[in-house]
Amino acid sequence: MLLTALLLTGGAYAVLSPASAQDDLAADEALVDRGRQLFLVGCASCHGTNAEGIVTSDGTQYGPSLVGVGAAAVDFQVGTGRMPLAEPGVQAPDKPAQYDDEETRALAAYVASLGPGPAIPEAEKYDLEGVDEEGVVRGGQFFLTNCTACHNFAGAGGALPEGKYAPPLQGTDPKYIYEAMLTGPQQMPVFSDEVITPEDKEDVIAYIQSLEENPSYGGFALGSYGPVAEGMFAWLLGIGALVGFAVWIAANSVRSKKRTKA
Amino acid sequence: MMSRPVVARATRTGQVAGWADDRLGLARVARKHLRKVFPDHWSFMLGEIALWSFVVVLVTGVFLTFWYKPSMGEVVYQGSYDQLRGIPMSEAYASTLELSFDVRGGLLMRQMHHWAANLFIAAMMVHMLRVFFTGAFRKPRELNWLIGLGLLMLGIVEGFAGYSLPDDLLSGTGLRIAEALMQSIPVVGTYVAFFVFGGEFPGDDIISRLYTVHVLLIPGLLLALVGLHMLLLVYHKHTQWPGPGRTEKNVVGFPMMPVYAAKAGGYFFIVFGVTALMGALLTINPIWAYGPYNPSQVTAGSQPDWYMGWLDGGLRLMPSWESELFGYTISWNVLVPGLLLLPLLFGLLGAYPFIERWVTGDRREHHLLDRPRNAPTRTALGVAGVTAYGVLWLGAGNDILAIIFDLSINTLIVVLRVLIFVAPVVAFVLTRRICIGLQRADRDRVLHGSETGVIRRLPTGGYVESHAPLSIEEQWRLTAHESPEVPAIGPAANGNGAPRPGARGDRLRTAMSRFLSGHDVAKPTREELEEAHHGDGHANGVDRVSEPDSGHRVR
């Protein structure tokens, strides 16, 4: 009886869990093998030779275990250049990607083969084809509720504790925004498909895109940083210019004494 | 009454003027005031920036009221901004969107209104600093100083009310903080907040209440006080910088008509032009991107406008201390920065003229300005205040600083917590030393002339630098101030050995007076000047100047 229950649960899990979509990537043994080679050269020094993670002598993590993070996490971290890390720090900054598309795929295949995790989303999930105007509005509400607290109202980015930060979203490839929501890289929470459905994720991306496509209605946007930038412009540009004009007027109207000829 | 001479009735203009004069008595007023003299200096135009930007704020504000609806009633947006269509929102927010996207020129007016408001308060502050650093607040202008502070305070409250009216995400976040400030008042805080918001936050009253405050109550007070401020300015006459021919009893400058009227009028157009350019080219408060206020949302970069920034900075820097007294929670973390900082600043500023007057014992009128270096302690106190204000400002922008400069926000807060105490002291000491150094340099120039950089070799083999004589104007300028003086006090005890009444107050006064002017450099006396000019002759060529101490005339 117990065995049956276990089998059923296990079977149901295997069928229903995201890992069941564990794509063909992990099935392609040649690709997995190539990924393992690359991993041993470029990643193993921090993540361990079997991607099991490395714990330092004082108990902190040197590099986390990658078992079960899924192909999507690899595609995001490596594709945006965050991994491999140039130097240890509070957060991995994005930089030009160090691996080409084929190598990134191989690394993703290797990590996917280690355990079940979110797969790289198919292009139709984020190509915004099916998003109508209402979808953009709905995406905006999701964005304002879930994203702006860290990423700012215009996706200009924001500060997090201890030098960490939420990076700017402007100009980010829709695929990477999708993968970030799916895998929750670094400080970001995971917004799994159960929390924000794939359709809603696409709406959020559509809203971010629509902000970028908006003309800058009010003129130069001052970096979209809000009132701090506005205050700086009021003082440096506004007061600066007006004081400059005051000096000019006072120096150039009627002369208080005749100019002596040199 | 004597009949007024009938003149200039021959021309058409003369007829109109005469008609008006017969009924309004304009000629008498005009004769006096059209020739009113104003001195000329760029720093005297800072208050004008405030005045003219206030005019821009009034004009653009009237435009905005034609479309803005001060209501928290819910509507579903159907306007032309795509990303919010179909969203339920308050009428206030919807009408601000309408102003921004569907009213011709509306966004320009909104942005001009906001920029001009920012400039208005900034200009008031710069003007106040000018008045402070030059000692223009001294008798007889103490009351006008207080009126000015009232204007500044009202301007800040007015700005905050305006910031809250669009009912966007930032407005609501700001009001939420304002509610928290009210709640932090011990014992009655909750009642005050309920009273102001008409119940639980956000309620549906606050926008219409703030609207009345923003368009009626405070503008009325501002206009009245601006009028009073200007009347007193005319009554007191404007202060002037010391110079040849300028005394405590005259004003040297240009008449109102035509010179000053032209300059002031021209400056109005410049202020209007700069505001219009900023409104047209620079985004301010893009409410469409913030979205309507929703208590469950917040955005990174939520800050108040700059004039409230220092209070926000105080909130961000204050450690989260709370205690419980008689069953009431006292939130020091909100109470101290939120409710005590503003009265502290305005209290200090308001009291300063009277404190200085008491310490110096100076009861005379002052119409000649101090050069900031000639009041080193006052200048240093002012710079210390500006520094503290600046540190609080940095505190308010800590998240923006952290992302722009790759800093840790936690480290930044710790550093600023130290700096809020240390930086003003350092600024005070440095400024005072710089002022005293400048005073010494002035004294040297008066005694020995300006350095020319020309080195001469003496027949004996030594080297000396030639000094050029100063012009009489320059000498006057450098010596027009008074030498520092610590007032003499009576003995601590009377003849019988009993303590003299008031001795303790006098001792405090003397100590403060030493603090105020004890370090100042005395200006050269007449004897020192003569000695320098006729003595060993190192100020070659300077001997033909008259000494500035005695009554000298302008050529």
Q: What is the pLDDT of residues B262-314, one digit of tens each?
A: 888 999 999 999 999 999 999 999 999 999 999 999 999 899 999 999 999 99
What domains are there in chain B, each with its CATH number?
1-36 (no CATH), 49-241+265-296+308-370 (1.20.810.10), 436-551 (no CATH)
* Beta bridge mates, B74: B90
Q: Say if strands A61-63 and B322-325 run parallel, antiparallel, or are unpaired.
A: unpaired
Listed by number, the residues of chain A in 89-148 with a beta carbon closer than 8 Å to a beta carbon of chain B are: 90, 133-134, 136-137, 140-141, 144-145, 148
In this predicted structure, what is the pLDDT of residue B248? Answer: 84
A225–B400: do the CB atoms touch at under 8 Å? yes
Q: Say if strands B463-468 and A61-63 run parallel, antiparallel, or are unpaired.
A: unpaired
Name the DSSP class of B319.
Answer: -
Cα-atom radius of gyration of chain A, to the nearest Å?
26
B396-410 average pLDDT score: 94
Structure tokens at B77: 């947006």
pLDDT at B165 over 90: yes
- A123-213 and A18-114 share a CATH fold: yes
Do the Cβ atoms of A118 and B266 come closer than 8 Å?
Answer: no
pLDDT at B22 over 50: yes
Measure the CA–CA gap between A246 and A255, rounded to whole angstroms: 15
In this predicted structure, what is the pLDDT of residue A260? Answer: 52
Domain extents in chain A: 18-114, 123-213
- What's the CATH architecture for A123-213? Orthogonal Bundle (1.10)
Backbone angles phi, psi at A227, to 5 degrees: -65, -20
> Which amino acid is located at B483 in the chain?
S
In this predicted structure, what is the pLDDT of residue B486? Answer: 66
CATH for the stretch A18-114: 1.10.760.10
Do the Cβ atoms of B423 and B341 come closer than 8 Å?
Answer: no
DSSP string, B421-478: HHHHHHHHHHHHHHHHHHHHHHHHHHHH-EEEEEEEE-TTS-EEEEEEPPPHHHHHHH
Structure tokens at A87: 């130097």
Measure the CA–CA gap between B251 and B85, rounded to whole angstroms: 62
> pLDDT per residue over B176-198, tens digit each?
999 999 999 988 999 999 999 99
Do the Cβ atoms of B85 and B288 come closer than 8 Å?
Answer: no
Mean pLDDT score of chain B: 88
Of residues A107 and B26, the one with the higher pLDDT is A107
Helix-helix angle B306-317:B142-164, to 10 degrees: 80
In this predicted structure, what is the pLDDT of residue B390? Answer: 97
In this predicted structure, what is the pLDDT of residue B286? Answer: 95
pTM as predicted:
0.88
In this predicted structure, what is the pLDDT of residue B40? Answer: 84
> pLDDT per residue over B478-535, tens digit each?
888 887 776 666 666 666 777 777 777 788 888 888 888 878 888 888 788 777 776 5
In this predicted structure, what is the pLDDT of residue A6? Answer: 65
Q: What is the total residue count of chain B? A: 555
> pLDDT per residue over B441-483, tens digit each?
999 888 888 888 899 899 999 998 888 888 888 888 888 888 7
* Beta bridge mates, B258: none
CB-neighbour burial class of residue B554 (10 A; exposed 0-12, middle 13-18, buried 19+): exposed
DSSP string, B105-122: THHHHHHHHHHHHHHHHH
| Of B283, B286, B297, Cβ closest to residue A145 | B297
In percent, the amount of chain B with pLDDT more than 90 equals 62
> Which amino acid is located at A134 in the chain?
E
Residues with Cβ within 8 Å of A183's Cβ and at least 6 positions away in sequence, in order, are A69, A70, A72, A73, A76, A118, A190
> Which amino acid is located at B438 in the chain?
L
> pLDDT per residue over B352-379, tens digit each?
999 999 988 888 899 999 999 999 999 9
* H-type alpha helices, B66-135: 91-101, 106-134
Listed by number, the residues of chain B in 366-395 with a beta carbon closer than 8 Å to a beta carbon of chain A are: none
Interface check B414 vs A, CB under 8 A: no
In this predicted structure, what is the pLDDT of residue A21? Answer: 46
Chain B residues in contact with A254 (beta carbon < 8 A): 40, 254, 259
Q: Across the A/B interface, how many CB contacts are shorter than 8 Å? A: 215
B263–A218: do the CB atoms touch at under 8 Å? no
pLDDT at B1 over 50: no
* Beta bridge mates, B451: B467
In this predicted structure, what is the pLDDT of residue A156? Answer: 93
> ∠A178-A182-A188 over CA atoms, to 5°?
100
pLDDT at B98 over 80: yes
In this predicted structure, what is the pLDDT of residue B503? Answer: 75
Backbone angles phi, psi at B466, to 5 degrees: -75, 140
pLDDT at B4 over 60: no
Residues with Cβ within 8 Å of B123's Cβ and at least 6 positions away in sequence, in order, are A239, A242, B46, B47, B49, B50, B53
The H or E element containing residue B76 is: strand B74-76
Interface check A157 vs B, CB under 8 A: yes
- Residue spans of chain A under pLDDT 50: 18-22, 256, 261-262
Q: What spatial distance separates the first Cα and last Cα of chain B, rounded to whole Å?
A: 45
Structure tokens at A164: 């960490």
pLDDT at B89 over 60: yes
Residues with Cβ within 8 Å of B345's Cβ and at least 6 positions away in sequence, in order, are B385, B389
Residue B483: which of B398, B375, B336, B384 has the closest Cα? Answer: B375
Chain B residues in contact with A229 (beta carbon < 8 A): 400
* Beta bridge mates, A63: A54
Chain A residues in contact with B407 (beta carbon < 8 A): 163
Measure the CA–CA gap between B484 and B95, rounded to whole angstroms: 61
Residue appearing with tokens 């419980």: B324
CA distances from A149 to B27, B57, B317, B366 (A): 64, 32, 20, 54
| Mutate which: B37, B38, B42, B111, vs A, most A CBs within 10 A | B42
Structure tokens at B260: 């000053």
Measure the CA–CA gap between B156 and B305, rounded to whole angstroms: 10
In this predicted structure, what is the pLDDT of residue B494? Answer: 66
In this predicted structure, what is the pLDDT of residue A10? Answer: 57
